[in-house]
Structure formats: C-alpha cells, structure tokens
Amino acid sequence: MATTTASVSISSSDLTPGTSLNINASTTCMKAGLTTGLEIIEMGKNTLTVAESASSGVSLKLATAAGADGASKVYLCNNATDDTFYIRLDLHDTIVGRLYAGDWLFLPWSQNDTANELVIQAFGGSCPYEYAIFKEGETVVAGS
C-alpha cells in the first residue's frame, strides 16, 4: 500500500506585534472513503517558457479520466530564482493564483474528464517547475 503524507509548518514571530504564529498540520493522503493510500501516478520537472504561456500554457492532466472525482492531489513548485518570475495556475477558465519563485502548492483535485483542467503559464521569464499527481483508480504495477 502506498503511503503519502503531506506536512506543512508555518511560524512567525512578527506578523502581529507581541503575538507569535505556529501552525503545524499533517495528513496521510488516502483513497476516498478508504484506508488505502494514494499512488503517485505522474511526476516530473520541466521549464515553462513565456512563449509556451503566450499560446495556451501547459496542461497538467492524465491521459485518462480513470479515478475521476476521487481523492486526487496535485503538488506544484516554482523553482525559479528570480523573484519577479511567476507561474499562474488556472482551473478551467478561473485564475487560482500565482506561484512566485520558491512558492509551492498542494491541493485536492477532482479531475472529472480529460479536458485541460489545470493549466500553468509563466510570466516574467522562464520558470523551472516540478510537479506530482497522486491519484486513485489506477493500478500501479510493482517493479521487479
């Protein structure tokens, strides 16, 4: 059984004078309604160029809709070093937000068809990025 645990830790002592912030959260990613872990289905690294973005951007999707509407998750990180370079993430025709250099996200994702649902575009300059898609409904063959 695959086990994927996502953790985040946020701390600050200067957001509000005299108050410190400490947030620690962790979750084990499971298939919907089960105690079986999600498998990593696809992962990779690439560089997103402004030229690609000017046309239609790059779509994060799987080739099939197997496991649609399940407990899928997506991780995306902008590995650019220039603070003015950002990746914009769109969900269908809605802008979700910007990932500036060093920013990352981990979010639930319910891919309901094979359409270009999550689209990323680079602005300011070329952005190296990495991603991973965790999904249920696929059979992962054990290596030998």
Check whether 105 has a pLDDT greater than 90: yes
Check whether 142 has a pLDDT greater than 70: no
Does residue 14 fall inside a structural domain?
no
Give the predicted TM-score (pTM) of the model. Answer: 0.78
Torsion angle in degrees (nearest 10) through CA of 137, 77, 50, 115: 20
Does residue 1 fall inside a structural domain?
no
Long-range contacts of the stretch 14-21 (C-beta < 8 A, 24+): none
CB contact at 8 A, 42 and 62: yes
Does residue 69 fall inside a structural domain?
yes
Nearest to 88 by CA among 110, 96, 106: 96
Does residue 23 fall inside a structural domain?
no
Where helices occur in 10-79 by DSSP H, the ranges are 50-55
Torsion angle in degrees (nearest 10) through CA of 9, 15, 18, 20: 0
CA distance 96 to 92: 10
Does residue 55 fall inside a structural domain?
yes
CATH code where residue 119 lies: 2.60.120.10
Q: What residue type is 139 in one-letter code?
A: T
Which pLDDT does position 126 carry in this prediction? 92
pLDDT tens-digit profile of 20-79? 889 999 988 888 777 777 877 778 898 988 887 777 777 776 544 455 667 788 899 999
Does residue 2 fall inside a structural domain?
no
Which pLDDT does position 64 carry in this prediction? 47
Q: Which domain holds residue 65?
A: 31-135
Does residue 46 fall inside a structural domain?
yes
Which pLDDT does position 144 carry in this prediction? 46
Does residue 10 fall inside a structural domain?
no
> What's the structural domain count of the chain?
1
